[in-house]
Structures are given as C-alpha cells and as structure tokens.
Amino acid sequence: MVERNELKAQKEDKKAWALLEKTLLASVQEQRRSRRWGIFFKSLTFLYLIGALFLFSPLGAIDGSSATGKPHTALIEVRGAIADQQEASADNLVTSLRRAFKDEQTRGVVLRINSPGGSPVQSGYVYDEIKRLRALNPEVKVYAVIADIGASGAYYIAAAADEIYADKASLVGSIGVTAAGFGFVETLDKLGVERRTYTAGEHKAFLDPFQPERQDEREFWQTVLETTHQQFIEQVREGRGDRLQEHPELFSGLVWSGEQALELGLIDGLSSASAVARDIVGTEELVDFTHRESPFQRFSRQLGTSIGNTLATHLGLAAPALR
C-alpha cells in the first residue's frame, strides 16, 4: 500500500515538473518572440529616421549643380526618354537650364544629348524655354552635342540651340511622329470573352484596343499625328533657318548619321562636349548643372508611375511620341 502511494506521488511529481518545464519553455519562447519583434520595430524606426534625415538633408536634394566660382561651361545631360516623371522631363531640364543661365560664371551651355525622343509636349516645353533664355541672355550661347543618338523629340530640343554638334557616327534626325498600339478583337473572340464599354460621346473609346477600328476614327487620328508632325517641322525650320538643305526625305522620319546630318544642315559640325567647351565656348572647365533626383524621390516616383505607364503603352493608350 505504501509503495503504491509512493508510485502515485512520483507520477504526480513528474506531471508537475513536466507542466513546470512546459510553462518555462513557453515563457522563454514568448520572450524570444518579443525580443525579435522589438528588434524589428527598433530597426524599422532607425531606418525611417535615417531616411527622413537623408531626405531633408542637403544630401537628399542633390541637383547636380556644382559651380566653382570660376568661368565655366555649363553642362546639362538630356539622357533617355523625354517624358513626364522621367530623368529627361521638361521640369528637370528647365530647372537645370535656369540654374545654368542664372550662374554669373556661365560662359556657355552645352546640352549633351543621348536620347531617342519622347513626348512632343515635353520637348516643346524645353524648346520654348531655351529660346526664352537665349533671348534674355544673348551673351550666353547654347550648344547641343549629340552623343550616340539625338532623334525625334531629342532633336526637337536640339533645334532650339544656337548650334548643334555630333559625332560622325551619331544618329540624328528622325523628324516624325508615331503612336502605336495593339488590337485584341479576334483574341477576345477566340477566348469567348465579351468586351463591355459604356461611354458618353460617340468617339470616347476610339483608342480602345479591344474594339474594332473604325475608318473615320483612323482618319481623325492621322490628322492629329500630321498636325503634330507639322508643328515639329516648323520648330526645326525656325531653329535651323537657312542652314537646312532641302531634301525630299528630310522630314520623313528617317534617321541620319552625323556625317549625313552635317551635309543636310541638321548639325553644324562634328565634335564632342569637351571639345565644344574648349574650342568654341573658350572655357574648358565643364560644370554639371543636370538636375538629379535623390534616391528616395526616384524610388517613390517609379513606384507610383511605372505600372501605369507600362500598361498604357502596351494597351495603346499612350499619347503620340516623337520617335
């Protein structure tokens, strides 16, 4: 009887110890979990503070201007697609131009262009601002220097400069307008999908890639492109004047090599940005006035616009482009 009671007591002790052990393990695990979350939130707070300090500090607002207080040639990069919310947007380029002209030590402005073109609206903004600044500051000349490519909207901008230079192998011109998209009508039919569009206005959905193309709407859209093309031509003629050589394909959208462009009067010579600063402006030192976004600004912009821009482009909803 005594042994049976002792065995029972031992079992109860084992259960109590097991329960205590389980409780202690659970407490340890909870403490570890709490520490992990604590570390996570502290790290998040630290990164947030660092980001805020960087964003509102001078380092977070680097704009590319680094004037030295000595006579210099202002350099502005026109790189990539010319479009809103991009590196070569009108806002960025106009800001750079104004800073360059405002600097009292600027002896000339070089636009170093490496762009296939883009929005006619953005290009037009920059063109007009160059003309305005040139009129206000006739002593400061503007030189466009084309690197690999200065086509379409990029050449539109270059035409506002006093002179244009390029390498002999650069691609220059492409004075034309394009608007492209896709048609998915038969694809929907094959998939058995019905497109339902509700509009107020007979032609409100005329660019819808999921509806059959209408001849009258196609003709209308062509007039829009031709009108934009004519505006482009007029601006090039105004900028280049008598230097242009008449050629039946000059405004056809073809792109020319630097050597060919020189013969056609699309450029004034073969040179580079540094050579123009040294030999033409007469001030070899180049100071970069290109507006540059901070990493945080660039990330937030790309996050908010990249998906929408991609969808618009691939579905044929994008505006006409000078390309």
Quickly state the pLDDT bin for 58 (edges 50, 70, 90): very low
Quickly state the pLDDT bin for 310 (edges 50, 70, 90): low
Domain limits for position 275: 72-176+231-296
Burial status of residue 258 (CB atoms within 10 A of its CB: 0-12, 13-18, 19 or more): buried
Q: Is residue 26 one of the residues assigned to a domain? A: no
Q: Is residue 57 one of the residues assigned to a domain? A: no
Q: Is residue 248 one of the residues assigned to a domain? A: yes
How many domains does one find in the chain? Answer: 1
- CA nearest to 263, candidates 254, 273, 250: 250
pLDDT at 183: 82
Q: Is residue 156 one of the residues assigned to a domain? A: yes
pLDDT at 195: 80
CA distance 200 to 195: 17
CB atoms within 10 A of CB 266: 27
11 beta partners: none
CA distance 143 to 75: 10
Quickly state the pLDDT bin for 182 (edges 50, 70, 90): confident
Residue 307 pLDDT more than 90? no
Give Cβ neighbours of residue 310 (< 8 Å, ≥ 6 apart). none
CATH number at residue 121: 3.90.226.10
Q: Is residue 214 one of the residues assigned to a domain? A: no
Ranking 139-153, 174-188, 278-292 by mean pLDDT, the lowest is 174-188
Quickly state the pLDDT bin for 210 (edges 50, 70, 90): confident
pLDDT at 270: 98
Tokens of 9: 């007591």
Share of the chain above pLDDT 90, in %: 54
Q: Quote the radius of gyration of the chain (alpha carbons, Å).
A: 32
* Report field, pTM of the whole predicted structure over 0.95: no
What single-letter amino acid sits at 205?
A
pLDDT at 63: 47
Ranking 9-23, 123-137, 270-284 by mean pLDDT, the lowest is 9-23
3-state secondary structure of 267: coil
Integer CA distances (angstroms), 276 to 109, 141, 280, 286, in order: 10, 11, 5, 10
Mean of pLDDT values over 199-218: 85
Mean pLDDT of the chain, nearest integer: 83
- CA nearest to 231, candidates 317, 89, 154, 121: 121
- 8 A C-beta contact, residue 95 and residue 291: yes
Q: Is residue 130 one of the residues assigned to a domain? A: yes
Give Cβ neighbours of residue 82 (< 8 Å, ≥ 6 apart). 88, 89, 90, 115, 117, 118, 119, 122, 123, 126, 153, 154, 157, 322
Q: Is residue 3 one of the residues assigned to a domain? A: no
Which has more confidence, 282 or 21? 282
CA distance 139 to 133: 11
Quickly state the pLDDT bin for 66 (edges 50, 70, 90): low
pLDDT digits (tens, 9 = 90+) for 9-43: 666 666 766 766 777 677 767 777 767 767 766 66
In the chain, which ranges are continuous DSSP H helix?
2-56, 90-102, 120-136, 153-158, 185-191, 215-240, 258-264, 273-275, 295-314
Highest-pLDDT range among 48-57, 178-187, 250-259? 250-259
Residue 124 pLDDT more than 70? yes
Q: Is residue 216 one of the residues assigned to a domain? A: no
pLDDT digits (tens, 9 = 90+) for 221-275: 999 999 999 999 999 999 999 999 999 999 999 999 999 999 999 999 999 999 9
Residue 311 pLDDT more than 50? no
Which has more confidence, 321 or 291? 291
Mean of pLDDT values over 153-164: 97
What single-letter amino acid sits at 149?
I
CA distance 119 to 84: 8
Quickly state the pLDDT bin for 184 (edges 50, 70, 90): confident
321 beta partners: 178
pLDDT at 16: 66
